[in-house]
Amino acid sequence: MPPIKTRYKVLIVGAGTAGISVAARLAKKLPRDSIAILDPASKHYYQPLWTLVGGGVGTREETEREQRDLIPAGVAWICDAAKALDPDANRVALESGGAITYDFLVVCPGIQLDWHKVVGLAGNVGKHGICSNYSYESVAHTWPMIQATKSGAALFTHPSTPIKCGGAPQKIMYLAESTFRKRGLRQDVDVQFICGMGSSFAVPRYQHALDAVMKRRNITPTYLHDLVEIRPEQQVAVFARVDDPSQRFEKSFSMIHVTPPMSAPDFIEKSPLANEGGWCDVDKGTMQSPKYPNVFALGDASSLPTSKTGAAIRKQAPACAENVLSVINGKQPTAIYDGYTSCPLVTDYGKLILAEFDYDKNLQETFPFDQSKERWSMYMLKKHVLPKLYWHGMLKGRA
């Protein structure tokens, strides 16, 4: 690994799905030692498999790699966190003190998990029947808690904020429901989906398919309600109406799978790069900042108005890298991202609906069959093919 300098031609903030994918592409075209990635995390995770880990399929250790082994050759890794962005001075301040300057910046530090925004949640995940697939630490508790549930209510929440992988809050619910059914406990466990959004999915074709799954499996949905408080010792969850938080109801639970509220990272929100919502503001086609032409953003931290997934980044990264190279060479960015995103909606062990669509919610399906039908082949794709595509294709700048 090249030694660390204080100035780079290209600085990438975040070495997750987006950061490594873009770095791998740029490293093929730019001289050695001209790119640095800034990230404090020593591990890298393939988060899409956390759904299956939570459902008792595979281990969380299989989703983890050493960050060091993924940084492309010739790219420097600065093991530190961005504290503040100063695009007027082409400068990123570091958490440990000091700063790195750059000619071109790519911003992709992912989305922030706001556990503290639900009263009583922080510090209690993994106890009192509370679990969540949304972090490497917490995913370890999901399967034991599903197995321990024999009666009472099993609640699955989805907040009204933007989240990563909009389908993940439901996927684990379908696996849990299947487990209760196979164990002969289904009549004793009341499975409920409590969601801050107005419907089960943003695209009508897949929404109808998911609504039918819930109906057939006797899962009760409640929409436009956010989880606002948990009383852990009593195992009680408090929900409030999204449009009138004074209207609340309480629900006792045996287990609750929480998808925490999420937001743009604070250091972006406080920077001149943020849009009104705090996300790194970029053109939805070129991924270039409208105010700072030497700045690009992609992935979950960006303002791109699509569903936040790794699959979306698979299409964003090639276009973003191409545009960064164009601007470095004094040209206009011309590569366009069309909003493509995909959500492999696991509906049971061995069943999956593969949602694929663009900014306008037009279907962008890959296969020549109706992907809104639950299929074994698509489950196999998620379990066996997509992880390989990720580690050996996407992160190498090949897929």
Ligand X SMILES: Cc1cc2nc3c(=O)[nH]c(=O)nc-3n(C[C@H](O)[C@H](O)[C@H](O)COP(=O)(O)OP(=O)(O)OC[C@H]3O[C@@H](n4cnc5c(N)ncnc54)[C@H](O)[C@@H]3O)c2cc1C
Residue 159 within binding range of ligand X, rule CB under 6 A: no
Q: Which of 108, 131, 320, 343 is catalytic?
A: 343
Residue 271 within binding range of ligand X, rule CB under 6 A: no
Q: Which span sits near ligand X by CB under 6 A: 41-49, 68-76, 173-181, 210-218?
A: 41-49
Assess contact for 341 and 299: CB atoms under 8 A. no
Residue 34 within binding range of ligand X, rule CB under 6 A: no
User: Residue 262: which H helix or E strand, with range?
Assistant: strand 262-263
Residue 10 within binding range of ligand X, rule CB under 6 A: no
Considering the complex, state which of residue 310 and residue 397 has its C-beta at the smaller distance from ligand X. Answer: 310
Q: How many residues bind to ligand X according to rule CB under 6 A?
A: 35
Catalytic, 320? Answer: no
Among positions 149, 192, 288, 309, the unique one binding ligand X when judged by CB under 6 A: 309
Considering the complex, state which of residue 77 and residue 190 has its C-beta at the smaller distance from ligand X. Answer: 77
Q: Smallest gap, in angstroms, from Cβ of residue 44 to ligand X?
A: 6
Residue 308 exposure: Cα atoms within 13 Å on the Cβ side: 23
Residue 134 within binding range of ligand X, rule CB under 6 A: yes
Contacts of 388 by beta carbon, 8 Å cutoff, 6+ apart = none
Among positions 129, 196, 299, 397, the unique one binding ligand X when judged by CB under 6 A: 299
Considering the complex, state which of residue 15 and residue 324 has its C-beta at the smaller distance from ligand X. Answer: 15
Assess contact for 220 and 114: CB atoms under 8 A. no
Q: How many residues does the chain have?
A: 399
Q: Smallest gap, in angstroms, from Cβ of residue 19 to ligand X?
A: 6
Among positions 18, 52, 191, 203, the unique one binding ligand X when judged by CB under 6 A: 18
Assess contact for 76 and 33: CB atoms under 8 A. yes
Residue 356 within binding range of ligand X, rule CB under 6 A: no
Task: DSSP for 75-102, please give it.
Answer: -EEE-S-EEEEETTTTEEEETTS-EEEE
Assess contact for 105 and 11: CB atoms under 8 A. yes
Q: Which of 131, 165, 280, 320 is catalytic?
A: 165
Q: Which span sits near ligand X by CB under 6 A: 118-126, 145-153, 307-315, 321-329?
A: 307-315
Considering the complex, state which of residue 90 and residue 185 has its C-beta at the smaller distance from ligand X. Answer: 90
Q: Smallest gap, in angstroms, from Cβ of residue 68 to ligand X?
A: 13
> CA-to-CA distance for 88 and 318, rounded, in angstroms?
27
Residue 347 within binding range of ligand X, rule CB under 6 A: no
Assess contact for 372 and 351: CB atoms under 8 A. no
Residue 142 within binding range of ligand X, rule CB under 6 A: no
Backbone angles phi, psi at 329, to 5 degrees: -90, 15
Q: Which span sits near ligand X by CB under 6 A: 2-10, 17-25, 204-212, 320-328?
A: 17-25
Considering the complex, state which of residue 156 and residue 240 has its C-beta at the smaller distance from ligand X. Answer: 156
Residue 164 within binding range of ligand X, rule CB under 6 A: yes
Residue number closest to ligand X, CB atom: 16
Residue 25 within binding range of ligand X, rule CB under 6 A: no
> CA-to-CA distance for 40 and 267, rounded, in angstroms?
14
CB contact burial 89-115 (16+ within 10 A = b; e otherwise): ebbbbbeeeeebebebbbbbbbbbbeb
> CA-to-CA distance for 377 and 18, rounded, in angstroms?
27
> CA-to-CA distance for 397 and 123, rounded, in angstroms?
38
User: Residue 204: which H helix or E strand, with range?
Assistant: helix 204-216
> CA-to-CA distance for 279 and 274, rounded, in angstroms?
5
CB contact burial 283-305 (16+ within 10 A = b; e otherwise): bebbbbbeebebbbbbbbbbbbe
Assess contact for 222 and 228: CB atoms under 8 A. no
Contacts of 292 by beta carbon, 8 Å cutoff, 6+ apart = 87, 105, 272, 273
Residue 310 within binding range of ligand X, rule CB under 6 A: yes
Q: Which span sits near ligand X by CB under 6 A: 103-111, 197-205, 271-279, 348-356?
A: 103-111
Residue 325 within binding range of ligand X, rule CB under 6 A: no
Q: Which span sits near ligand X by CB under 6 A: 42-50, 198-206, 227-235, 373-381?
A: 42-50
Catalytic, 165? Answer: yes
Q: Residue 148: how many CB atoms within 10 A of its CB?
A: 10
Residue 38 within binding range of ligand X, rule CB under 6 A: yes
Catalog residues that contact ligand X under the rule CB under 6 A.
13-19, 38-39, 41, 47-48, 50-51, 81-82, 108-110, 133-134, 164-165, 168, 265, 267, 299-301, 308-311, 313, 344
Q: Which residues are catalytic?
A: 165, 343
